[in-house]
């Protein structure tokens, strides 16, 4: 199977010799035909005039559902006039969709929740094609894949790191982008002492933004096989391990009073405006957030993006690159042909990925200007290798069995609560507990 993994400099490459370069689009260009999805993933071609149906599309972008998505719909219906689109925007997207997936009513097209175990994909989603073939046209289509079949296509590819306000850093006297956790903590302290801005906004109250920290584990590891090795690791939160290093920054910031005063009442939407206005210095978020905050700022250039502050022994700084939500088709939909038409339009023709500050999943598309700073800093991209043959789904099973929840806010909120003194436990108390849980869960699943 093709692999798309270690990213060097300004190019993303697949092992199948397909590259995302700075040339033209390499995706499908036939807007006069739509693939029809069969249960085996095979595709046939149908005349757009014959495609019809009322589609409900679940989206997580409450901020642009009534504007940008309506423009997409109008453009789509120029080719598919007999397809009626209805968008349903959900604030607590993953939580609500997880509940709805206990029924058959979870839209016709939706963003697949990140925590769906890969082995369950065939039960909930329509196959989109053979993974090896999909990788020739789209990046990361091995993420939401099982036994050689792909069930989702990334809506965008995100770099991971930290969103920051350049003006606040300048006011604080921080002139260089922090390259280590220690330098980052020093920068937060300087911001706390010399400005009125909140040094690090956790968005504890919203919950899901805390999961934006997790992809940075690979930036710290510097190893595209890191998650494969987690399956064989008993203590991922041990001192010196990427998870320990990563979340120590979160805990220390809370412990040292460098986060929002009352994290339990944070609000995601208002936090974007606060950062745009210079009231927040940093937030750990994927690159998708850059344009959202820039659009709110009086000076968009004041909003910058830095890699997570960790430098390898050889001097390399990595940014983990990973898929955002994957778009998929409800296996219970009565209009799968129309659903596939929308999926193909959204991925190939809407330009959503780049417009929202991400990297297009279509092989051959240009990089967005929002990540130009990474080139200046010499940041290298890295991403996780797909799970090894025979171990697909093991990591999710261990995570679920252990109740650690790598992609759930639970232990992250626990760390913040301990840091601000709402829990009588130390960082090591928490990480030791997580290690014990992980080891027990791994033993039950793997051995």
Which residues fall within 8 angstroms of residue 314, CB to CB, at 6 or more apart?
none
| Domain span at 179 | 161-321
Does the residue 136 lie in any domain? yes
Counting the structural domains of the chain, the total is 2
Does the residue 443 lie in any domain? no
81 C-beta neighbours (distance < 10 Å), count = 12
**Nearest-CA neighbor of 72 among 281, 343, 314?**
343
Q: Which two tokens stand for residue 248?
A: 């120590």
Same domain, 139 and 217: no
Provide the sign of the torsion angle of the four alpha carbons 271, 272, 277, 282, taken in this order: positive
d(Cα 301, Cα 288) in Å, to the nearest integer? 16
d(Cα 403, Cα 401) in Å, to the nearest integer? 6
Same domain, 291 and 346: no
Same domain, 303 and 372: no
Q: Are 134 and 128 in contact (CB under 8 A)?
A: yes
Same domain, 78 and 60: yes
Does the residue 200 lie in any domain? yes
Does the residue 331 lie in any domain? yes
Q: Which two tokens stand for residue 364?
A: 């051959």
Answer with the one of 382, 416, 431 that is the final residue of a domain: 382
pTM for the structure as a whole: 0.77
Does the residue 437 lie in any domain? no
Does the residue 7 lie in any domain? no
Does the residue 147 lie in any domain? yes
Which residues fall within 8 angstroms of residue 140, CB to CB, at 6 or more apart?
4, 154, 157, 322, 323, 361, 383
Same domain, 51 and 132: yes
CATH number at residue 245: 3.40.190.10
Full pLDDT tens readout for the chain, 447 residues: 222 333 323 333 322 222 232 222 333 333 434 444 444 444 444 689 889 999 999 999 998 999 999 999 999 999 999 999 999 999 889 889 999 999 999 999 999 998 898 899 999 999 999 999 999 999 999 889 999 999 999 999 999 999 999 999 999 999 999 999 999 999 999 999 999 999 999 999 999 999 999 999 999 999 999 999 999 999 999 999 999 999 999 999 999 999 999 999 999 999 999 999 999 999 999 998 999 999 999 999 999 999 999 999 999 999 999 888 999 999 999 999 999 999 999 999 999 998 887 889 999 887 788 888 888 889 999 988 877 777 878 998 999 999 999 999 999 999 999 999 999 999 999 999 999 999 999 999 986
Same domain, 308 and 351: no
Same domain, 253 and 367: no
Same domain, 241 and 261: yes
Same domain, 227 and 330: no
Does the residue 137 lie in any domain? yes
d(Cα 262, Cα 417) in Å, to the nearest integer? 10
Answer with the one of 343, 367, 382 that is the final residue of a domain: 382
């Amino acid at each position: 199977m093709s692999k798309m993994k270690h990213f060097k400099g300004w190019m993303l490459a697949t092992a199948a010799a397909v590259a995302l370069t700075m040339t033209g689009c390499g995706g499908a260009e036939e807007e006069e035909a739509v693939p029809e999805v069969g249960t085996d993933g095979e595709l046939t071609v149908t005349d757009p005039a014959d495609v019809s149906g009322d589609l409900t599309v679940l989206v997580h972008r409450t901020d642009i559902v009534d504007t940008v998505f309506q423009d997409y719909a109008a453009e789509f219906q120029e080719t598919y006039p007999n397809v009626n689109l209805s968008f349903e925007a959900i604030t607590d997207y993953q939580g609500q969709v997880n509940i709805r997936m206990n029924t058959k009513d979870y839209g016709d097209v939706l963003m697949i929740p990140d925590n769906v175990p890969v082995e369950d994909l065939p039960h909930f989603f329509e196959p989109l094609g053979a993974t090896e073939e999909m990788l020739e046209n789209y990046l990361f289509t091995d993420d939401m894949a099982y036994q050689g079949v792909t069930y989702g296509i990334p809506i965008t590819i995100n770099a991971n790191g930290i969103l920051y306000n350049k003006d606040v850093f300048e006011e604080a006297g921080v002139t260089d982008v922090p390259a280590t956790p220690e330098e980052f903590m020093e920068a937060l302290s300087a911001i706390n002492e010399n400005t009125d801005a909140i040094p690090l906004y956790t968005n504890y109250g919203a919950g899901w933004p805390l999961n934006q920290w997790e992809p940075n584990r690979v930036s710290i590891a510097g190893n595209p096989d890191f998650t494969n090795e987690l399956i064989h690791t008993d203590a991922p939160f041990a001192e010196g391990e990427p998870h320990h290093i990563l979340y120590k920054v979160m805990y220390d910031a809370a412990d040292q009073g460098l986060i929002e005063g009352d994290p339990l009442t944070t609000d995601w939407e208002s936090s974007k405006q606060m950062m745009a206005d210079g009231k927040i210095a940093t937030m750990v978020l994927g690159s998708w957030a850059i344009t959202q905050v820039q659009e709110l700022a009086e000076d968009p250039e004041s909003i910058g993006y830095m890699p997570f502050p960790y430098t390898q022994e050889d001097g390399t700084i990595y940014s983990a690159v990973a898929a955002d939500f994957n778009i998929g088709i409800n296996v219970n939909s009565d209009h799968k042909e129309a659903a596939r038409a929308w999926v193909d339009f959204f991925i190939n023709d809407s330009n959503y990925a780049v417009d929202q500050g991400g990297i297009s999943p279509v092989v051959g598309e240009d990089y967005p200007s929002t990540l130009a700073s990474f080139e200046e800093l010499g940041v290298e991209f890295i991403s996780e290798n797909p799970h090894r043959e025979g171990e697909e789904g093991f990591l999710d099973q261990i995570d679920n069995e252990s109740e650690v929840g790598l992609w759930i806010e639970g232990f992250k909120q626990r760390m913040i609560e301990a840091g601000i003194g709402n829990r009588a436990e130390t960082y090591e108390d928490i990480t030791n507990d997580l290690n014990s849980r992980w080891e027990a869960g791994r033993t039950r699943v793997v051995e």
